[in-house]
């Protein structure tokens, strides 16, 4: 009985997709550090903060001069979207709340909470004394107007000199201004020594899957007028200029935007989540160190801070191209996301729920590539009709692989069929699959949006919790990945049945690929965005429907057979490539014959 096998070209396509999955999951998996290292980092920061809380830090351990009797004051300002507290000890933001957003515990969502955000400015007095702003104690005042609220902080650094911090929060938006001013510079400071500017942050966990959130928590920056980069693969980098720096915490970002580029910078990050990432409060530690030089008798430094959603529709409204801090994907795939999928999905969500918008997006994508599917299925039908002839060729030349291949290719050429046709749907599906693979994890619009049994389309859905953890799978069962895996299994069975060719001697049995791919998808997507699993499930259902519709209502096999017979009668001119391949096969056959003598 004739054994049927999967087309080698389809096997190659599926294996390439599998390799892509493995590469992506390995490349962007969270870096791990030991729990002891994490404890050392956190404990050292805490002890440093406590030991120096009431002191100017000086190179020579100078005694405290003044201002130690000032009690700490917490000053709050807020607008419609955010609320933050500033402490008079160090002038730091102590808490920053994103209104109308909740974390994975359904609690208020903070980007800054306690000591996870630190800003420090170190400058040198003419006496050689080093002063750190984070240890200064400020006087404060609050001013409110119809357009903004502001906090003004002032600390003395000499009898006549002082340093001012100023926070200006507009009545709306996630972006606010931060100004630093030092007066009496000539009398107080050593202008030959640049000011050291440092901004540190421990990113707070806010999502259900800490591992998933950690994968999309990273640093990005603009280091030239038209250049944007991310610090994915290295943990530190030296940059001559920075136009803005972003600490991206998956769906939320803290972006520092100076009014003029920062010079001579060192940026770095490290994982601080520990071995059990799902129990971690913090995921990554970010740090930016810069040198700032004096200009004139008064030192002024102005920043804007954006602390809010990593939302493409919001970030693209700013002139500095802050949307480039989002990980859209590399090359043409990122371009597709920015210019096609984000605008299209945003349009659909204006009129439909987010789950329905995903289904409509899937339908649009499948309709766009349906002409390619049609041509592919017609070619597959031709291949199916040619099976008896191919079987005869295999039997006739069963001991001569080169001749068998020559005659098979001639048969395909005369009939107008192509064994490459089965790769076309996989190619175009993969071409759109990759940008969508990036799109769903970064689409802020999906965060907290429910559909059917999924309570958050930006995270995994759960229909059952397991009392144990399966390696690479997790401790829960997600239904959308399960449905997607079943759908791709049946689609692979349908298409393989059309593409399978008569067995050829020497070909390995690769039928297991049909079973391997769904299992791989099930493991990969169990902790992935349920929105993407929904897309993949609907996509494969549509592919099966389109396939059955074309097969049963559009393709006429009698007409195709008649066309094949007509093509066989016509002389077929070979292309240069076909002639070259035939020539190579003849040479190989001749060499084989000579070796056999």
Confidence band, pLDDT 50/70/90 cuts, at residue 502: very low
Q: Which of 498, 493, 491 lies closest to 546, judged by CA?
A: 491
For helices 354-385 and 342-349, angle between their N-to-C axes, nearest 10 degrees: 120
User: Interior CA angle at 551 toward 547 and 555, to 5°?
Assistant: 130
Q: What is the average pLDDT across 122-128?
A: 84
**Listed ranges 119-133, 168-182, 219-233, 402-416; the one with the highest mean pLDDT:** 168-182
Q: What is the average pLDDT across 398-418?
A: 69
Q: How far apart are the first and last CA of the chain?
A: 35
Q: pLDDT tens digits for 68-114?
A: 556 889 999 999 999 999 999 999 999 999 998 988 888 999 999 98
Look up tokens 């020559």; give the residue.
406
**Listed ranges 2-6, 549-553, 588-592; the one with the highest mean pLDDT:** 549-553
Q: Which of 154-168, 452-466, 490-504 has the lowest mean pLDDT?
A: 490-504
Q: Which of 303, 300, 289, 277 lies closest to 118, judged by CA?
A: 289
* Residue 254 or residue 128, greater confidence: 254
Q: pLDDT tens digits for 28-42?
A: 443 333 333 333 333
Q: What is the average pLDDT across 395-408?
A: 72
* Residue 66 or residue 403, greater confidence: 403
Look up tokens 């902790």; give the residue.
527
Q: Which of 24-28, 214-218, 418-422 has the lowest mean pLDDT?
A: 24-28
Look up tokens 């803005």; give the residue.
244
Confidence band, pLDDT 50/70/90 cuts, at residue 586: low
Cβ atoms 84, 93 nearer than 8 A: yes
* Residue 590 or residue 34, greater confidence: 590
Cα–Cα distance for residue pair 477/461, rounded to 1 Å: 8
| pLDDT of res. 246 | 94
Cα–Cα distance for residue pair 136/54, rounded to 1 Å: 8
Cα–Cα distance for residue pair 330/328, rounded to 1 Å: 7
Share of the chain above pLDDT 70, in %: 71
Token output for 196: 């050291």
Helices (H), 192-271: 210-215
Q: Residue 263 phi/psi, 5° resolution? A: -110, 145
CATH number of 31-318: 2.70.98.90
Q: What is the average pLDDT across 322-336?
A: 88
Looking at the predicted structure, is the pLDDT value of residue 479 above 60? yes
Cα–Cα distance for residue pair 8/507, rounded to 1 Å: 9
Cα–Cα distance for residue pair 433/327, rounded to 1 Å: 16
pTM over the 0.85 mark = no
| pLDDT of res. 98 | 94
| pLDDT of res. 7 | 43
* Residue 66: alpha-carbon gap to chain centroid: 49
| pLDDT of res. 503 | 46
The CA–CA distances, whole Å, from 118 to 115, 174, 277, 287, 427 equal 7, 19, 23, 9, 48
| pLDDT of res. 568 | 59
Cβ partners under 8 Å of residue 479, min gap 6:
453, 461, 463
- Return the half-sphere exposure (C-beta side, CA atoms, 13 A cut-off) of residue 260: 8
Cα–Cα distance for residue pair 190/129, rounded to 1 Å: 10
Q: pLDDT tens digits for 280-326?
A: 889 999 999 998 887 766 678 899 999 999 999 999 999 888 998 89
Cβ atoms 583, 432 nearer than 8 A: no
Look up tokens 């008649």; give the residue.
562
Q: What is the average pLDDT across 256-268?
A: 90
User: Interior CA angle at 549 toward 547 and 551, to 5°?
Assistant: 65
Q: What is the average pLDDT across 436-454?
A: 89
Averaged pLDDT score across all residues of the chain = 77
Residue-range domain boundaries for the chain:
4-25+346-584, 31-318
What is the 3-state secondary structure of 73-134? CEEEEECCCEEEEEECECCCEEEEEEEEEECCCCCEEEEEECCCEEEEEEEEECCCCEEEHH
| DSSP strands (E only) in 114-194 | 117-124, 130-132, 139-144, 148-156, 162-170, 175-182
DSSP 186: H
| pLDDT of res. 81 | 94
Using the CB atoms, write b or e for 402-427: b if 16+ within 10 Å: bbbbbbbeebbbbbbbbbebbbbbbe
Confidence band, pLDDT 50/70/90 cuts, at residue 582: low
Q: What is the average pLDDT across 511-515?
A: 67
């Amino acid at each position: 009985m004739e054994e049927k096998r999967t087309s080698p070209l389809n096997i190659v396509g599926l294996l390439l997709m599998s390799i892509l999955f493995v590469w992506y999951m390995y490349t962007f998996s969270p870096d791990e550090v030991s729990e002891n290292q994490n404890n050392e980092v956190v404990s050292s920061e805490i002890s440093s903060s406590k030991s120096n809380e009431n002191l100017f830090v000086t190179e020579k351990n100078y005694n405290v001069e003044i201002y130690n009797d000032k009690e700490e004051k917490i000053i709050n300002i807020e607008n419609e979207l955010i609320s933050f507290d500033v402490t008079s000890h160090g002038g730091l933001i102590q808490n920053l709340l994103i209104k109308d957003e909740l974390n994975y515990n359904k609690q208020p969502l903070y980007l800054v909470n306690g000591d996870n955000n630190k800003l420090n400015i170190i400058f040198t007095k003419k006496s050689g004394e080093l002063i750190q702003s984070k240890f200064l104690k400020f006087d404060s005042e609050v001013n409110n107007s119809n357009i903004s609220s502001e906090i003004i902080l002032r600390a003395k650094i000499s009898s006549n000199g002082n340093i001012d911090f100023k926070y200006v929060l507009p009545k709306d938006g996630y972006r606010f201004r931060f100004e630093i001013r030092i007066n009496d510079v000539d009398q107080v400071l050593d202008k030959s020594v640049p000011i050291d500017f440092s901004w540190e942050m421990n990113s707070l966990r806010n999502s259900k899957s800490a591992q998933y959130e950690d994968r999309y928590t990273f640093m990005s920056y603009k280091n030239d007028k038209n250049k944007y980069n991310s610090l994915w693969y290295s943990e530190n980098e030296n940059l001559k200029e920075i136009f803005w720096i972003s600490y991206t915490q998956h769906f939320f970002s803290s972006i520092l935007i100076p009014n003029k580029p920062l010079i001579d910078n060192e940026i770095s990050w490290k994982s601080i989540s520990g071995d059990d990432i799902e129990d971690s409060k913090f995921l990554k530690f970010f740090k930016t160190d810069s040198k700032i030089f004096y200009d004139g008798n008064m030192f002024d430094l102005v920043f804007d801070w954006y602390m809010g959603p990593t939302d493409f529709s919001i970030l693209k409204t700013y002139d500095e191209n802050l949307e480039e801090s989002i990980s859209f994907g590399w090359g043409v795939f990122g371009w597709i996301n920015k210019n096609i999928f984000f605008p299209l999905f945003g349009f659909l969500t204006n009129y439909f729920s987010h789950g329905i918008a995903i289904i409509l997006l899937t339908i649009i994508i499948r309709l766009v590539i349906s002409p390619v599917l049609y041509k592919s299925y017609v070619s597959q039908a031709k291949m199916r009709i040619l099976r008896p002839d191919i079987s005869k060729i295999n039997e006739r030349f069963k001991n001569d692989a080169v001749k068998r291949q020559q005659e098979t290719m001639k048969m395909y050429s005369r009939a107008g069929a192509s064994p490459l046709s089965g790769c076309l749907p996989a190619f175009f599906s993969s071409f759109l699959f990759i940008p969508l693979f990036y799109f769903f994890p970064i689409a802020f619009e999906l965060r907290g949006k429910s559909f059917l049994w999924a309570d958050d389309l930006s995270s995994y859905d759960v229909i059952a919790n397991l009392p144990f953890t399966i390696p690479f799978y997790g401790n829960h069962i997600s239904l959308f990945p399960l449905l997607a895996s079943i759908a791709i299994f049946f689609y692979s069975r349908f298409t393989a049945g059309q593409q399978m060719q008569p067995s050829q001697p020497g070909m390995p049995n690769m039928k297991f690929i049909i079973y391997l791919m769904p299992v791989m998808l099930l493991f990969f997507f169990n902790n992935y965005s349920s929105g993407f699993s929904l897309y993949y499930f609907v996509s494969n259902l549509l592919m099966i429907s389109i396939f059955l519709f074309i097969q049963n209502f559009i393709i006429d096999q009698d007409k195709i057979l008649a066309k094949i017979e007509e093509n066989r009668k016509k002389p077929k001119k070979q292309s240069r490539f076909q002639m070259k391949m035939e020539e190579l096969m003849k040479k190989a056959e001749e060499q084989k014959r000579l070796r056999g003598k």
